[in-house]
Amino acid sequence: MTKPESKKSGVAAINVTGKCATSAAEQVNNGSVEPDCPDQSTHIKANVTKQTSKESMHRRNTECEVYDDGTNTFFWRAHTVTVLFILTCALVYVTLLEETPQDTAYNTKRGIVASILVFLCFGVTQAKDGPFTRPHPAYWRFWLCVTVVYELFLIFILFQTVHDGRQFMKYIDPKLGVPLPERDYGGNCLIYDPGNTTDPFHNIWDKMDGFVPAHFLGWYIKTLMIRDWWMCMIISVMFEFLEYSLEHQLPNFSECWWDHWIMDVLVCNGLGIYCGMKTLGWLSMKPYQWQGLWNIPTYKGKIKRIAFQFTPYSWVKFEWKPASNLRRWLAVLGIIFMFLLAELNTFYLKFVLWMPPEHYLVLLRLVFFVNVGGVAMREIYDFMDDPKFYKKLGQQAWLVAAITVTEFLIVVKYDPNTMMLPIPFFVMQCWLLGILLIFTWTLWRFFIRDITLRYKETRRRKQEVPTDRERPLGNVGTATPSGRSKLNGSSETVRQRKS
């Protein structure tokens, strides 16, 4: 159960004979070299070590070293023919042995589901691998195909009328297609209600619903995606400001002040970010040394190896450095904007499509973004960090961006009246002030400051290089007017020689 990419190096290491071959497993685990046979042990270590990829060469200081014995088991082998045979048998059974029911709606649903399953089978076996390989590359290929299916579904919904699109949701669940009232989280915002003698803290307990652990778990996973404390805190605080600004559109955003800043930012989001950063620290310090399951002698080691199969194969520390150059700064701003837009789509989509917050489709969408968000962030970081090597945006990042934009377009089309409600004047002033500050800082940091620094550097270099007029007088007599006089002496000496 190891990564298949390094199987070539592992085979060469296993075939080495003698004392060095018997100690190959110890070298994989400890990263050491056997001193009794330096030539062969150096060859073993070079082969057992994961072949240096182009990514690690470009970003060696942020990517950990990986050791892999290269065992290629049945778990890692491609099963394209097996999947094709099973799929063909299933289609033959449906065609020849099963009687087709005379129900048009049922046949339509089953045909669509069968088409999606065939596409998923093709993608899981044939799609391009992404940056993640654990627990298995087929797992991430599956979610890539699900991303394509979800984007096509959104495109279909976008091209329907508002009434047809909402009624189409009944084909998925007959309970949908009915307008639902939004819950108002505002109202009585007293932390301690003296008027309620039975339970003065009833307002706090009323807010303790299923969204509290969802907030914590969501921000824990987002921290693992972004891998930066500052970006996570900025997104968390910015979303609370968005809820303040848009509560006139969605009553769901109307919350008490302590629900915004204490329950959400400090308790749920803050605790999730803290636990996520602790997990990132453990992942960055964890040794990444992999052996085949059958090469481990003890049962404890086998169980530990199975558990570590669900951890990353290697680790890359994200160093966003937004202030280093204009390109990275704009990329970080774009990431924050897309994150906030995806968060808003969660609330607006269920509002315009009439889905209750506890519906399983809402939960499935969150699970979907949990699985595809990490891959998308890694591809965005690689594209931003090394554009010369990664010449195009990754496939998962491209699809996630397209899905976020499509969801927003559905919201705009299905309920333009809500979207066009005028924002309060003081809220508009605050947002304009924030945008102006960001624009001013960008202009100063990447244009005015750089021009000023270049001008000062030019002046400093000119002052360090003395001109002919500023040279000491003692050097005047030794100055040579031409190249010939420098080699042959002064001009008077040359004339004397000629005479």
d(CA 45, CA 47): 5
- pLDDT > 70: percent of the chain: 76
Residue 289: the pLDDT is 83
At residue 255, the 3 state secondary structure works out as: strand
Please give the average per-residue pLDDT across 86-99, as a whole number.
92
- The full set of domain ranges for the chain reads 74-126, 137-421, 424-457
Mean of all residue pLDDT scores within the chain: 80
Nearest partner of 6 among 73, 65, 68, 76, judged by Cα: 68
pLDDT at 214 exceeding the cut of 70: yes
Nearest partner of 121 among 108, 96, 138, judged by Cα: 138
Please give the average per-residue pLDDT across 417-437, as a whole number.
91
The DSSP letter of residue 136 is -
Residue 51: the pLDDT is 41
d(CA 438, CA 332): 13
pLDDT in tens, 260-291: 888 888 889 999 999 999 999 999 888 888 88
Residue 473: the pLDDT is 52
Per-residue confidence at 493, pLDDT binned at 50, 70, 90?
low
pLDDT in tens, 300-323: 888 988 888 898 988 888 999 999
Q: What is the DSSP string of 443-461?
A: HIIIIIHHHHHHHHHHHHH
pLDDT at 400 exceeding the cut of 80: yes
Residue 318: the pLDDT is 92
Residue 471: the pLDDT is 53
**One-letter amino acid for residue 274 of the chain:** Y
For residue 137, give both structure tokens: 């590359």
- How many residues would you count in the chain? 499
d(CA 211, CA 215): 6
pLDDT at 18 exceeding the cut of 60: no
389 phi and psi, to 5 degrees?
Answer: -90, -50
Nearest partner of 145 among 114, 123, 128, judged by Cα: 123
